[in-house]
Structure 1
């Protein structure tokens, strides 16, 4: 174990922060915001868990998707896959983190790594899995960590700030939040008697102050300086104050908050009895800067507490049994990976266990590749659709397109079936038979459309984006991901309460704004003859806010998209790049067979195709 003084390490925090410049922040390859989108597991071990908690907040606030913090052990016992796994490891050689990396790649997730060790085993894993993995690390050498990882924490915070600036153009002030936190701490030293061995800290945190609370609780536990309870202000109010009431002399309170919760935390502080020792870390910033400020203050506060105890937490007396516990490794029988015999690979999916009488399919990214959306459906796909129609399978199509979908389908589907096929245009808001004339259909009234049209046209002109407006859908194309987020924020701010009357969905190539009642499931409802009949749904955009999200939550369903569907019950063929979009659709259609007056997917036939493509 390192034997570096904690007090020496904290004197170098500002130097560490300044050492890592934007020029010395390296990424293994160029990253875009698209790579980061989707559900994310944020994983760290020990002190790195603080950084994982911070990323959880950042991921959701940046609109990238749902995020959850996990330890490596928790990740091993979670069976719901995520689009992205974000790993934090100072040394890059933590065995648990290396195992998480391998399991995440095996499950089909993208992996983003933050480390300060550019020549580590973790970086080598990233380089050997370059298609799915990315790493961020410093090119300049950083001082070694002590036992409680001060240097690597500050260094990684700096890496994160440069990384976000690179990806999202986030601008941060020239001053250092670390230096400001140091100055504020020196002006707010604690005056507690902390020499007794029985003191407990009740740590109450809010918003971006939470990672600092995790940091302080971790340092207390890993040093033996004191015990700590971590909670938020309202959970504290639901009974956790009883401990404080019963043990007021030996318990100290630490409040940690950033700017947005400053007022509420101030009210909480005033509500505490005057005889309670209370210390407040009140950041003048929000977001990432606020988190960095609070974490720096928690590192310094812990150092002060340790000093009052006469302990140097950088030089602990580690017991032999503790070393043995630290060196325990998960064996193969302990690892709950997604390794299963190939013959049983699909057994859990409703699409392969349920019979169905009909099928509803998306068009772009499903029947036709996104990059070829102005082209035609593959001849083989048309042949398979006609084969299944002749066997009696009912077909429906649900798409964000308008009348162009009719021309695309009529080119490949025999006209004898047109009167039996239902199409939901504009994401299911306009339902018609394939044989009907689009121009003769009555126009649906959507009151909010005119408001949105007036709002968005000048914005799209300024952004040089293409906007098209129909009776029940406004579609905007040629937008970068940040521009999509900007437009969504403008719409919500402008509409106020009326935002409840719309849906905003993303496709592989556009942003669609729709009435709140729009759903691709309209077609599913229309082609199902009875309540007990199953309809197979097939699409590609099943991620959060994807325009097939509802369709692919249906059971049974199959996704041929690049993005992991929200529903774990959806059979995801698109995790294999050779079975994405029209290739996956063709393989699926070929595997559908008639059985007992209904239809099934021949799992053996489909499994063979999948494993041959891997």
Structure 2
């Protein structure tokens, strides 16, 4: 089992060069959209080191909370309100624990679920096809499958992740083009791995090694522990610089023989590390390695160092880390199958109630929500509908494909309903771009353009799809917006290079050009509006922007337009994705017959998400549309 570890080390240079050259644009976009969320990075075995590495980068580049977890730990780590992103790291994408973790995460519906995989056509990719909101990024490693330990996959992932985080944070990260330069740039007092090997000779020969690390270097220490233990090369104890002082040092008093200590420290912590080492008995094998602060680059060098330390130790003990020889019972343990609490399916009633429970204060008994659910479902199915109003971005079009028209399946359903006599309206924060997309070939058939209603700029301007003059692009913003843009820039302390504020007659759209947490942009805009314009203006939030509107404007204007067209007492169904305040669909989905394909409100009588677990956005909209039976202008939900 496995392959010679020395052969794997020879391939590291090629893996590093490959990782510096491949396209990373898609994971960068996803990270930019969700970096301010709590991040859980899932890994098992060697991939756990990569998970710890990514969690460190996340804290370093974005100052956001991030933690590495095993697949089983992820189950209890996911927050109840869904306010997290999950990244799963796996060289093969095939091991059972990682697959179960990915599916469990998708069914739990956090903000984002992504996987980084080192091969194509993995089983994770197959699971990903079921849940359209999840992402699997496949990067087939040039060195192929690792041996017994994670080697080329780990260095490749580390290099890719550093590039992804530097790009997503707009950091000008210098990354050397060779491994030799990586080591010489990152290590203080060492120009090559050869000189490191010389000073670590005694440390690599002792049976028990304590690795004490500066806060940022935990991922390096974790990888040393993982490799030494998994290959049977000895026992490793881990502690950070100060936790070591809380009793960990006592080990050496009771076990002075065959124990060593290695400090992995930053230049900032060097003095503390040296003073700590000086206080330990002189008979111990002890060594200090100092890494330069290179904004995460030194962590990649640390992974390389861990690989070579494993090799040196293997040579000393006569064990090849790439094929150490796995006992029969070890293979049987690996193949044991146990659910361990992973979700494999969630019935629709439970999924719908769990979404509502995420929004409620306190622990409302689930049976209460079950009662509300059944009551709402009966009402929804009993009603006859003559009109349908849909949000656009996030509901008909995936945010990852903004600028493209709705998918073919959704267009087919919309035209089917129009052919059955149903009146359809679209409520959007956008302007004329939606008209262009809905008129694209294969979207809304031209014969229906005169009857399809569009509410532009959150319902502030309403026209038909056939109208060329709506919205009015030439009109100046109303006087209620005077001074808003300058005040927002003043509070944020930014200029036009970071914010894009687009003025319209009845709306100001605020977007960022650089990563700023969604909540920060929202809080800043709200503070300006509430302090100076609270009587006149309101603020709503979408997945990509914050919109400032006159207080009497909402997407419900489209519902009112349809009611005027087809009859006040006619049933009108509304569908959107941001139903929870301050989402820009909160008013639209407060109507009696309203469905969400993502966020829901706490109201028991409206804004339910009835999609199957793990189904979100346009995939959820398609699910709803396919449930509508329509004929002679009347429709029912089945």
Coarse TM-score class (shorter-chain normalised): 0.5 to 0.7
Listed as ranges, the gaps of 5+ residues in structure 1 are 355-364, 376-404, 409-437, 440-448, 469-474, 489-503, 524-537, 548-573, 593-599
- Determine the C-alpha separation between the residues in 2 that align with 1:272 and 1:607: 61
- Determine the C-alpha separation between the residues in 2 that align with 1:31 and 1:239: 45
**Aligned counterpart, 2:571:** none
User: SS in structure 2 opposite 1:255?
Assistant: strand
**Aligned counterpart, 2:376:** none
**Aligned counterpart, 1:96:** 97
CA contact (8 A) 1:17 1:158 kept: yes
- Determine the C-alpha separation between the residues in 2 that align with 1:335 and 1:296: 34
**Aligned counterpart, 1:339:** 346
**Aligned counterpart, 2:201:** 191
CA offset at residue 272 of structure 1? Answer: 2.8
1:288 and 2:280 correspond? no
- Determine the C-alpha separation between the residues in 1 that align with 2:19 and 2:543: 39
User: SS in structure 2 opposite 1:577?
Assistant: strand
User: SS in structure 1 opposite 2:260?
Assistant: strand
Listed as ranges, the gaps of 5+ residues in structure 2 are 185-190, 370-392, 394-425, 433-457, 461-478, 481-485, 548-573, 595-601, 613-619, 626-638
**Aligned counterpart, 2:116:** 114
1:10 and 2:20 correspond? no
Distance verdict in 2 for CA 1:267–1:575, change over 3 Å: farther
Deviations 1:71-107 (A, max 9, x none): 0111234452453211111112122112222222222
- Determine the C-alpha separation between the residues in 2 that align with 1:123 and 1:137: 12
**Aligned counterpart, 2:577:** 577
CA contact (8 A) 1:201 1:254 kept: yes
Which residue, 486, 489, 495 being the options, matches 1:460? 495
CA contact (8 A) 1:85 1:112 kept: yes
**Aligned counterpart, 2:326:** 318
1:234 and 2:242 correspond? yes
Deviations 1:562-612 (A, max 9, x none): xxxxxxxxxxxx9983857454544445389xxxxxxx9446994669997
Deviations 1:454-485 (A, max 9, x none): 994xx5156575599xxxxxx99443134x48
**Aligned counterpart, 1:501:** none
- Determine the C-alpha separation between the residues in 2 that align with 1:163 and 1:287: 13
1:506 and 2:516 correspond? no
CA offset at residue 29 of structure 1? Answer: 7.6
CA offset at residue 201 of structure 1? Answer: 0.9
**Aligned counterpart, 1:328:** 336
CA contact (8 A) 1:116 1:142 kept: no
- Determine the C-alpha separation between the residues in 1 that align with 2:287 and 2:182: 18
CA contact (8 A) 2:590 2:607 kept: no
Give the stretch that moved more between structures: 299-308 or 120-129: 120-129
Deviations 1:38-68 (A, max 9, x none): 1211011101111101111111222273212
- Determine the C-alpha separation between the residues in 2 that align with 1:97 and 1:193: 34
**Aligned counterpart, 2:158:** 157
- Determine the C-alpha separation between the residues in 2 that align with 1:587 and 1:575: 7
1:224 and 2:232 correspond? yes
- Determine the C-alpha separation between the residues in 1 that align with 2:45 and 2:326: 15
CA offset at residue 108 of structure 1? Answer: 2.1
1:20 and 2:19 correspond? yes
CA offset at residue 334 of structure 1? Answer: 3.6
Distance verdict in 2 for CA 1:540–1:103, change over 3 Å: farther
User: What does 1:99-498 correspond to in 2, within 5 Å?
Assistant: 99-109=100-110, 110-126=112-128, 129-138=131-140, 141-169=142-170, 170-176=172-178, 179-181=181-183, 184-188=192-196, 189=198, 190-192=200-202, 199-331=207-339, 334-336=341-343, 339-340=346-347, 342=349, 345-346=352-353, 348=357, 350=360, 372=429, 453=490, 456=493, 459-460=494-495, 465=500, 477-482=510-515, 484=516
Deviations 1:210-249 (A, max 9, x none): 1110000001110111111111011110111111221122
CA contact (8 A) 1:40 1:86 kept: yes
CA contact (8 A) 1:41 1:84 kept: yes
**Aligned counterpart, 2:377:** none
CA offset at residue 286 of structure 1? Answer: 3.4
Distance verdict in 2 for CA 1:94–1:178, change over 3 Å: farther
CA contact (8 A) 2:47 2:89 kept: yes
CA contact (8 A) 1:85 1:104 kept: yes
Number of residue pairs the alignment of both structures matches: 458
User: SS in structure 2 opposite 1:219?
Assistant: helix
User: SS in structure 1 opposite 2:520?
Assistant: strand
Q: TM-score under structure 1 normalisation?
A: 0.62
**Aligned counterpart, 2:468:** none
CA offset at residue 513 of structure 1? Answer: 8.3
User: SS in structure 2 opposite 1:21?
Assistant: helix
User: SS in structure 2 opposite 1:590?
Assistant: coil
- Determine the C-alpha separation between the residues in 1 that align with 2:182 and 2:156: 16
CA offset at residue 155 of structure 1? Answer: 1.5
User: SS in structure 1 opposite 2:262?
Assistant: strand
Deviations 1:243-282 (A, max 9, x none): 1221122211011134443443333333333222112232
Q: TM-score under structure 2 normalisation?
A: 0.60
- Determine the C-alpha separation between the residues in 1 that align with 2:277 and 2:109: 47
Cα RMSD, aligned residues only = 4.9
User: SS in structure 2 opposite 1:282?
Assistant: strand
User: SS in structure 2 opposite 1:512?
Assistant: helix
CA offset at residue 514 of structure 1? Answer: 4.6
CA contact (8 A) 1:477 1:511 kept: no
User: SS in structure 1 opposite 2:201?
Assistant: coil
Deviations 1:532-581 (A, max 9, x none): xxxxxx986899xx99xxxxxxxxxxxxxxxxxxxxxxxxxx99838574
User: SS in structure 1 opposite 2:29?
Assistant: coil
1:63 and 2:62 correspond? yes
